[in-house]
Structure 1
Amino acid sequence: MIVVTAPTGNIGHQVLEILLRAGAPIRVIARNPGHLPDKVRDKIEVVEGSHGEAAVVEKAFRGAEALFWLAPPDPAASSVTAAYVDFTRPAAAALKARGIRRVVGITALGRGSPLADKAGHVTGSLAMDDLIASTGVAFRALAMPSFMDNILRQAAAIRDQGRFFSPISGDRKLPGCATRDIAAVAARWLLDDGWSGQGDVAILGPEDISFNEMAGIMSEVLGRPIRFQQIGFDAYKARFLQSGLSGAMAQGMADMARAKDLGIDLTVPRTPENSTPTRFRQWCEDTLRPAVTDPAP
């Protein structure tokens, strides 16, 4: 039995689909089971509730062998520690009590970097990993740079203004990965019962690319000029405050972006093993273009 958290999220629902195609027995933890498609709900066990609650994870972990762990977004959290570490404490206790053998988690690049202790959400993610590892469970932390899919948050600005924004330098080349590739790697580890020990697994996408290069590719794919505009870190934080994040979580986003601008995502050398296949151009054609193109009448 494999337990999947965040099964309706951007990564979780793709992990769930791959596991279903493989015929694996699956139990999900869902705060809103009604958000699961009917055809999926009929093939899985569902435990309703938050995977940050002790009673929920204790029930969900009973008799299971493997766990896909993803801390969900918590815009109102009082700190990044609360959003990642405190949220995970009940699950860490239940891992010991219920005998889960293997955990595959979603985290960030940056372990070992001098920037890791002041990188906002990255710092919180790494501390969460330490908590899970302290249970002694076999653990693979899938360590990611920024997701290509995060650009969809700016789909309206790309469509209406022909621009997208970040405080990171437009010429800074950084790795980026597609969530579909993350899901594929996660599912592969979850379906493999032959591993043990603990460690990070970097997922770097196929290339390092700058925002200015992204703008050029977007322009070609969308058939109109798209421009990248660098903004200040204070303005970046203000955007998250306006969208409803708490002060601590908005500051965490700004601190994470600053660490990325300083190169925290470049701490792991690129290899064939950690380079996933989806290139940014392909992602734009498959995902961005439908999101910013007005539907046909």
Structure 2
Amino acid sequence: MITVMGATGRTGSRICHTLLEAGVPVRALGRSAERLAPLAAAGAQIAVGEPNDAAFLSEAFRGVEAVYTLLAYGPDTEDYRRQQAAQGEAITQAIGHSGVRNVVFLSSVGAEVSSGTGPIISMHDQEQRLRAVPADVNILMLRAGALFENLYGALEIVRAYGCYSDAVAADVPVPMVASADVADAAARALLDRDWRGVQVRELLGQRDVSYAEATRLLGAAIGLPDLPYIQVSAEELTGALLQAGYTPSIAGCYAELAEAINSGRVRAQEQRSARNTTATSLEEFSQTWAASYAALG
């Protein structure tokens, strides 16, 4: 059996279905029995609890061959660093108490940097915690590039203003990857368990893409090939996110992340290879994005 945290999320749900299709028993974790119900119907054992509850996680990790872990948050998170630390500490305690020997952690490109990286800092902190677990536990850090799905945040902006805007500089190349490809890499790792000790693997997408190029591709998919990308200041981004309902903690994280990307603090560490270059292109994703745009009406 394999335990999957965040089983109702984009990566977790796909991992669960992939494992079940491979004939592997799955214990799917989440906060809502209702949202976990489709996985139960597909054959997964479900467990409902909080990701910062070490006792709950210890029981969920006990007796399994491997676990998939991640740190969840939302735009309404009041104190990002504190909330992430609570989850991270619960996960590491559960690993120690449960006796599980194989752990995959969804991290991020840039997690090697110790400060000034916005939301990525929590993944740096968690990587450090995981490096301190018992030496007989095999830990795989999957450092993903920026998810294509983050671009769904552009839907309402494009419809309302006829452009896309962010604080990332227009021409800075960014490794971008589909969440499905991240999930598939994690599922393969959970099945193969082909690493020992602590290892890091990056997942970088088909190629690095600038925000200006991404905007052009999304625009072309909806018949607006000249859709402009407009860089705003970190302060302007923070203000827009606050107006959209994000907490100051999360808005500040995203503004700091943009500055980290612009300065080059957040960048891939590995040379591109068959292992870290994933299958889905932004051109393919733009068609899915365009369908969501059309659904706005």
Pair in the same fold by TM > 0.5: yes
**Residues 28 and 36 in structure 2, CA contact (< 8 A), matched pair in contact too:** no
CA distance in 2: counterparts of 1:258 and 1:41, whole angstroms: 44
Give the aligned residue type for 1:2: I
Mean Cα deviation higher: 83-92 or 276-285: 83-92
**Residues 69 and 105 in structure 1, CA contact (< 8 A), matched pair in contact too:** yes
CA distance in 2: counterparts of 1:108 and 1:117, whole angstroms: 14
Partner residue in 2 for 1:162: 162
CA distance in 2: counterparts of 1:77 and 1:288, whole angstroms: 26
**Residues 112 and 124 in structure 2, CA contact (< 8 A), matched pair in contact too:** no
Q: Shift of the alpha carbon at 1:125?
A: 1.0
Q: 1:74 to 1:83 in 2, by over 3 A?
A: farther
Partner residue in 1 for 2:257: 256
Partner residue in 1 for 2:151: 151
Q: Shift of the alpha carbon at 1:223?
A: 1.3
Q: Secondary structure at the match of 2:200?
A: strand
CA distance in 2: counterparts of 1:36 and 1:78, whole angstroms: 25
Cα deviations by residue, 1:156-205 (Å, 9 ceiling, x for unpaired): 22234332111011111111111011001000001113432112110000
Partner residue in 2 for 1:16: 16
The CA RMSD measured in Å over matched residues stands at 1.9
Structure 1: stretches of 5+ with no match in the other structure: none
Q: Secondary structure at the match of 1:272?
A: coil
2:269 to 245, 267, 270: 267
**TM-score by structure 1 length?**
0.92
CA distance in 1: counterparts of 2:6 and 2:112, whole angstroms: 28
Is 1:236 matched up with 2:237?
Answer: yes
Is 1:284 matched up with 2:282?
Answer: no
**TM-score by structure 2 length?**
0.92
CA distance in 2: counterparts of 1:38 and 1:107, whole angstroms: 27
Q: Secondary structure at the match of 1:252?
A: helix
Q: How many residues align?
A: 293
Matches within 5 A, 1:22-61: 22-38=22-38, 40-61=40-61
Give the aligned residue type for 1:129: E
Percent of residue pairs identical: 24
Partner residue in 2 for 1:130: 128
CA distance in 2: counterparts of 1:11 and 1:124, whole angstroms: 18
Flag as ranges the 4+ runs of structure 1 deviating above 6 A: none
Q: 1:229 to 1:128 in 2, by over 3 A?
A: same
Structure 2: stretches of 5+ with no match in the other structure: none
CA distance in 1: counterparts of 2:90 and 2:217, whole angstroms: 44
